[in-house]
Amino acid sequence: MTALSEVQARKIIGAISDAAERWRDADFPVRVRATQRIAERTGYSIPVVEYALDRLFFSIDRASIEAVIAGELGEIAVLDGFRARAGRTDAWARPIGSVCVISSRTTIGVALPAALFALCAKCDVLVKDREDSLIVSFFETLREELPEFEQAARAEPWSSQDDAAPALRAFDAVAAFGRAETLATIRAALPPEARFIGFGSRASAGFVSRESLSGADAAAEIARGAARDIVLYETEGCLSLHVLFVEDGGVVSVAAFSQTLHDEITRANIEFPRGEHASERFAQGAHTRALAAFRNASSQSALSEPPPFLPRLAHAIPVGNPADALDYLRRHGIALEGFAVADSRPDVIDMAVSAGAVRITRFGELQNPPLTGEHGGRPRIAEFVRWIDKTF
């Protein structure tokens, strides 16, 4: 039995929601201290960290958690031992057991939703936290809301410099975020019967259709959203806008849109200043920026170059149609998480799906994923339960 096995699911959900609500307050003392530590670890500026924490904790609420559970398991009550009537006839969900969640080096708080849904599944959870101790701090708040979390929710630091995987053979499931080689090392450290839930590195892209470039105001609105998607988190996260396609033939030309995008990035840099690490790397992009105008002048030259993957930098790549964009993504082997669009033109949406995008949204919303979405194309809670068939 796990520490939460006898606690009602709605009580667990309520405690998580209440703890997250306390963290939505930027002046909450525990959050203030965590904000400073995160800025020191990541090198991101304070406004960027504040934005990340707002997006994280405002997404965690009772309604969203219950919607995920109901959507994936059939009904909330199944977690309390009732039979599931939707999707799994005469089956019960039981916690998979002990779960380890290994945090990402870059994305702020990415491990928290996985840990919280494992707790909702009544698992015992250990998070390998980063040096800023964000999860450690949140779990302290969680225990204040519900004492049973004292044994169920634990977190301990795991240095970004640790190349070897931590001892993992005692866990029934491990969820990990990181590069392919890191995930391979972690998977090799698990016993064969353990469930491995890996989230590898991905990128995000966007497509501006010719119809959406109907005038200067429309172009500026799209560029404003794209600029935010680019500058947040120094373009390091899987939901950062790394590749931006702009279709030829709009009222606003690709070159004109590129200039508008440059202007909007300049403005976004004021709202979300560059952090320490990005300032050090900013010079690396100087030569790339100097070539941007040349590349934009020729679809062929732009399409032949891979994305720069540099802080606050994404070129407007001219394309003739969505097929050109799909060919680019496949040729350069870009695994997608998010895809931003300026409108819902069917062939653009079909292209994004064919390219493997997990989430499709409008420009400016890439970095604001809902809790109800599937991170990395994987379910939120279903992988933390075992289904037990009951026939009597």
Sequence ranges of the domains in the chain: 9-201+371-389, 203-357
pLDDT digits (tens, 9 = 90+) for 264-273: 999 999 999 9
> Over the chain, what is the mean pLDDT?
89
Distance CA 194, CA 384 (A): 11
SS3 198: strand
- 294 confidence band (pLDDT: 50, 70, 90): very low
Q: Which residues 6+ apart lie within 8 Å of 291 measured at CB?
A: none
| Percent of the residues in the chain that have a pLDDT greater than 90, as a whole number | 72
Q: Are strands 385-389 and 91-95 parallel, antiparallel or unpaired?
A: antiparallel
pTM: 0.90
| Fold topology of 9-201+371-389 | Aldehyde Dehydrogenase; Chain A, domain 1 (3.40.605)
pLDDT digits (tens, 9 = 90+) for 136-176: 999 999 999 999 999 999 999 876 455 555 678 899 999 99
| Fold topology of 203-357 | Aldehyde Dehydrogenase; Chain A, domain 2 (3.40.309)
Note whether 149 and 119 are within 8 A (CB): yes
SS3 177: strand
DSSP string for residues in 212-261: T-SSHHHHHHHHHHHHHHHHGGGG-STTSEEEEEEETTSSS-HHHHHHHH
Residue 226 Cα distances to 119, 250, 257, 341, 351, angstroms: 35, 18, 11, 10, 19
Taking each helix axis as running N to C, give the angle between helix 29-42 and helix 134-145, from 0 to 180 degrees, rounded to the nearest 10.
Answer: 160
pLDDT digits (tens, 9 = 90+) for 300-338: 567 778 888 888 888 789 999 999 999 999 999 999 999
Q: Within 13 A of 15's CA, how many CA atoms are on the CB side? A: 24
Taking each helix axis as running N to C, give the angle between helix 9-23 and helix 46-59, from 0 to 180 degrees, rounded to the nearest 10.
Answer: 160
pLDDT digits (tens, 9 = 90+) for 181-206: 989 999 998 999 999 999 998 999 99
